[in-house]
Amino acid sequence: MVKTSRIVNNFMELARLDSLSREEKKVADFLVDKLKSLGVHVGVDETGKKIGGDTGNVIVHVPGDSQFPTLIFSAHMDTVEPGRGIEPALSKGVIRSEGETILGADDKAGVVAVLELAYVLKENEFPHGDIFLIFTVAEEIGLLGAKNLDMTQLGANYAYVIDGDGEVGGIVVKAPSQNYINATFKGRASHAGVSPEAGINSIQAAALAISKMKLGRISKGTTANIGVIRGGLASNIIPQETRVEGEARSFSLGKLNAQTGQMKRHLINGAKAVRAKVDVEIKRAYDGFSFTKRSKIAKFAMEAMKKIDLEPRLFSSGGGSDANVFNKVGVPAINISVGAENAHTVQEQLVLEELEKLAQLLPEIIRTISGG
């Protein structure tokens, strides 16, 4: 049902379109043009205006028979740095970037597979319920596109997010909850050479705090990181303000709260040690989810994989995805591996055979669920 030449051409075109978070309009326009040519109902929501981006989520509705479940297939349009001026090249069945950039298969492999599903639904007749194809924005910077979707209008029974790591056949059935932990240290500026005694060093406060924290792999299902420090104006000025940005993740809410609590304590104590002040902000980035091989949503995917000679692999992921958001609002969602390797690096690559398998899998999931 899928067409390899079309899949390859669409991926190569999409890969060349710059689409960093909040800058996905070129990809959205590409998708809208392709989808409108199929005669399906496609629209762009207002998420771009809400998050300061140049476009919103692209949403496609393919009407179906109400006796069958309503399904969502979703992929995100944005990519990470270095992601400008990507030039993809296909050689010996593998697609790589020719320059010093990522390839963008995370998640344009998913985007192409979901787009191909639109073609398959148009060109072939088999039973299905309502199908929504959703291409989200700003996934890489906090799942912002999914968080701003109006899910009340969709009424979906299941959602398959096409954005997982590893070879096709992988199913992410468990993902963590994550907290953002951000702090602003406020000291007192002074001349570092003339009157250092009059100053209060906000960078020193932050450094003391971070040095006491337990970071990295805390336990099997819990991690923590400080990823950003911004502070100071010049080497001869005692820095008045320093910003620290971090996170903690865990499959256990109890362990997440414990890790977050110890990080907050050290931030407060670091400020006290040098008589600085600190404002600590803790915000839930997303909630986790957990399914088993007995869960209907996973069983459907596993059965579909076996029909096309794929060996299902159920695994837990330490990362978040739009699936976290769908589960939070009551739509069971799992994440399907797209076949890309070395995502978020300049060594990223995509085996063409994997992309073909992915495109074949999505309609097979529909057929399995609807008994077609």
Q: In the chain, what are the domain boundaries?
A: 4-175+288-370, 181-286
Averaged pLDDT for residues 192-210: 98
Where are the extended beta strands (E) located within 287-338? Answer: 289-290, 313-316, 333-337
Six token digits for residue 339: 């076949």
For residue 191, the tally of other CB atoms under 10 A from its CB is 12
In this prediction, residue 153 carries a pLDDT of 79
Six token digits for residue 87: 């030039």
Rounded to two decimals, the pTM is 0.93
Burial class of residue 175 in the structure, from the number of CB atoms within 10 Å of its CB (0-12 exposed, 13-18 middle, 19+ buried): buried
Question: What is the per-residue pLDDT across 65-111, written as a single tens digit (0 to 9) for each?
Answer: 999 999 999 999 999 999 999 999 999 999 999 989 999 999 999 99
User: Of the listed 24, 139, 322, 364, which one is catalytic?
Assistant: 139
Averaged pLDDT for residues 329-355: 96
Fold category of 181-286 in CATH: Alpha-Beta Plaits (3.30.70)
- 13 belongs to the catalytic site: no
Fold category of 4-175+288-370 in CATH: Aminopeptidase (3.40.630)
Q: How confident is the model at residue 372 (pLDDT cuts 50, 70, 90)?
A: low
In this prediction, residue 293 carries a pLDDT of 96
Binning the chain into helix, strand and coil, the percentages to the nearest 5 are: 35, 30, 35
Question: What is the per-residue pLDDT across 34-57, written as a single tens digit (0 to 9) for each?
Answer: 999 999 999 999 999 999 999 999
- 139 belongs to the catalytic site: yes
Q: Are 342 and 166 in contact (CB under 8 A)?
A: no
In this prediction, residue 1 carries a pLDDT of 86
Question: What is the per-residue pLDDT across 290-324, written as a single tens digit (0 to 9) for each?
Answer: 999 999 999 999 999 999 999 999 999 999 999 99
Burial class of residue 195 in the structure, from the number of CB atoms within 10 Å of its CB (0-12 exposed, 13-18 middle, 19+ buried): exposed
| Helices 4-15/352-370 angle, 10° precision | 120
Percent of the chain with pLDDT over 70: 100
User: Of the listed 78, 106, 140, 348, which one is catalytic?
Assistant: 78
* Mean pLDDT computed over every residue of the chain: 97
**Is residue 371 scored above 80 in pLDDT?**
yes
Q: How confident is the model at residue 175 (pLDDT cuts 50, 70, 90)?
A: very high
